Amino acid sequence: GIQVEQSPPDLILQEGANSTLRCNFSDSVNNLQWFHQNPWGQLINLFYIPSGTKQNGRLSATTVATERYSLLYISSSQTTDSGVYFCAVVLSSGSARQLTFGSGTQLTVLP
């Protein structure tokens, strides 16, 4: 099956710092999403970005589908950005919508 690797596994930042999270995937995909898991466990949608670049406030994401990676940028980080960030993909083949998740990046933003 498709492999999804996220790096780094853990990231500790001082408030105000910028960060880049990376997601590598091993096969062609027709869906790539970034999520933030809140302390209660819910996955919050950040970006649906199978290709190209999107921005939403302090967050932006870029997916280079031909090179099979995606990047999530967090600028001017805040303590509320803390949590686990997941990248998830759906294979291009087939009609089902099975998301395969990476193992996540645990982000801690210190005040």
Tell me which residues touch other proteins (CB under 8 A): 30-31, 33, 35, 40-43, 45, 48, 50, 86, 88, 90, 94-101, 103-104
Return the biggest CA–CA distance within the chain.
46
User: Considering beta carbons, is residue 6 or 77 the nearer one to other proteins?
Assistant: 6
- The rounded distance, in Å, linking the Cα atoms of 5 and 22 is 8
Q: Which helix (H) or strand (E) element contains residue 89? A: strand 83-91
**CB of residue 101 to other proteins, shortest distance in Å:** 4
**CB of residue 97 to other proteins, shortest distance in Å:** 5
User: Considering beta carbons, is residue 17 or 43 the nearer one to other proteins?
Assistant: 43
Residue 20 near residue 73 (C-beta atoms within 8 A): yes
